[in-house]
Structure 1
Amino acid sequence: IANAPALGSSVNVAVSNVHGTGAATAVTVTPIVASVSATMGSAHGGQVLWIRGAGFNGTSVTAMVGSVACTVAASGHDWVKCTTGAMVTGTHAVSVTVDGVASACLSVADPVAFGDAYNADAATRDCPTVSVNSTSAATITAVSAVAVAEGAVLTITGTGFLPSAEGDADRPSVSFAAGGVCNVNGNVTETQLVCTVAWTAGATTTVSVHFPGWGVTNGFAITTTLEVTSTETHSVSHQGGAKITLVGSGFGNTASAVSIVDASVASRCSSLELVSSTQLVCTVVAGTFTQAAQADLQLRVGSSSLDIGLVGGFTPRLVASATY
């Protein structure tokens, strides 16, 4: 049945000829998995798979590699594109479920002719598989710094890296789990790559490398620094409305995740503009600065925070290091 939706409902099929039409027979449409784009998988996940078959058009399409979900990015009536999760060592069958109906597999005898090749005997049915072994994943074993800020050069060492040269289309990408990227420089060898930190959101986090078509490495523990290095203010008054510019590192790239609060955790910015991960502008709420010479404030980025003190004349005073 060409392009039939796999809804699990019965489709009445009847044969007609010059002598008339035979009795209709109910046939249940089942999605079929024919092939998968990779036979070896990354133990850490992050690998993009293309699953080919038929009957994948439906309102809810999910995919599995063994017992692990493969997150579906897009699908059509004969294909599914998904990204694997972390998998254990072993050989894992690939399956697709469409609108609650689990897929069957083609017999290996004829992987092209869907109707003839389908084998109803599950015990002898051949399903596409993805194999994972102890070496089938790139792994980070060391980084050159335990804490980094924007502009830092980071050397990442490991095993199983996919070599590439400057300008290659399949260059790896480096990212931080709490937010941030590190741009890869120069050649990548089987055991090492070098990158420059482009932006971060200050946190105790992990760094990982994604190799296109292959998957992601383990996450290696690292700290991305949250700091304020200078403060600039203009025409500050008790009535508010003045602007304070903070310059530093680790402010992230999402303004909604950034705030400046007082001891009661009330926001002290009527608006906050995140210029970059190293600069932000806070428009002060009225009453933030009392007649007392000091106002202790806290900068928050996601789940991380940094205590800052702005004293008379609004000279920056860092009263504590970042806490995570």
Structure 2
Amino acid sequence: MADTLPQTMTAMGFDTPGGPDVLRPETLPVPEPGPGQVLIRVSHAGVNRPDVIQRTGFYPAPPGASPIPGLEISGTVVATGEGAAPELLNRKVCALVTGGGYAEYCLARAEHCLHVPRDMAMAEAAAVPETLFTVWHNVFERGWARDGETLLVHGGTSGIGTMAIMLGKAFGLRVAVTCGSEDKCAAAREIGADLAINYKQQDFVEEVRAFTEGRGADVVLDMVSGEYVQRNLDCLAEDGRHVTIAVLGGMQAEINMAKLMSRRQTMTGSTLRARPDEFKALLADEIYNHAWPLFEDGTIRPVMDEIFPLSEAGAAHARMEAGDHIGKIVLAMPGFESA
């Protein structure tokens, strides 16, 4: 590690699970990069639903990962471990991490980093990795989405939802989303959704089937689960693919297997955090080759909601839990609040 780096840093952690108020600053040693790792001086960190679930005690960090919340960051590489490319030093990057993002310094695998495009703000860069990796893997790899098909996304104005809209449209999909208010539906349409359904006032099954002239969606990206699953299958086309990435509506679902068989539908799902480093490296490489050019040329920019200073991580979590946000919530490290 470079001699000029500080010995300690500020991070946001918690002693016991609970509400947003349990998050508090702590002073920790600056970590040292191991083989294949880089140390990043963090500029900004994205706030994601898994961070909130971890804070409430239901999504602990996997073995070997930092217990500090935070799954995506942007910043500058300030040290490299053995085997990490030395040319990464001093490079501005964004990275997918398994934890530790809510801190002034964070370790990342070198192969899980993407360079920050010249015209992208660092706050925007921190809002990209978790949603981009998740949507790319689940919509295009697990869901086998291809141009001309229809994608249904629940939570259309969430970080995942907004990324799914933009990626889907960039790759030739028709995108339908559900939202909880007319204002959110309008925002989703502005982002690029072809159909935005207010699920509090409309039956999304009927709306999707009408939109597709009775055929149904080819892929459903589901973050709700629970009682939504059978409804998703009811508006899924023959040979359609149902992909679950969260269970906000409950971990159990009852489905009609006879209908699933007769319509040849496929159900799958995934989580990303605990996947092996090698898998994430392959995913990062595919994203770099196929999706990252859209960020480099400005075709896609993350939809930003609000930026909070690191010390107000609890307020950032409260905003996410209230459900009023549109796009990504981000934390700014000390000294980068105006960056």
What TM-score, normalized to structure 2? 0.23
What TM-score, normalized to structure 1? 0.24
Higher RCO, 1 or 2 (CA under 8 Å, sep at least 6)? 2
Greater Rg by CA: 1
More helix as a share of residues: 2
More strand as a share of residues: 1
